[in-house]
Structure 1
Amino acid sequence: MKFIDSLPLSTFLLAALTLGLAPFMPEPHIWEKLKMLADGTLSRPIDIFDLVFHGAPWMLLALKLLRGAGSSEE
Structure 2
Amino acid sequence: MRARLLKFLDNLPLLYAVLFAATLGLAPFVPEPHVWEKLKMLADGTLSEPIDIFDLVFHGWTWVLLAAKLARMAVVKTEA
What TM-score do the two structures reach when normalised by structure 2? 0.90
Structure 2: unaligned runs, 5 residues or longer: 1-5
> Any runs of at least 4 consecutive aligned residues in structure 1 with deviations exceeding 2 A, and if so which?
none
Out of 47, 50, 74, the position equivalent to 1:45 is 50
Match of 2:40 in 1: 35
User: Alignment partner of 2:67: what SS?
Assistant: helix
% identity of equivalent residues:
70
Q: Give the partner amino acid of 1:18.
A: T
The question of 1:21 aligning with 2:46 is answered: no
Q: Give the partner amino acid of 1:40.
A: G
Q: CA deviation at 1:38?
A: 0.4
User: Alignment partner of 2:64: what SS?
Assistant: helix
Aligned length: 74
What TM-score do the two structures reach when normalised by structure 1? 0.98
Q: Give the partner amino acid of 2:74.
A: A
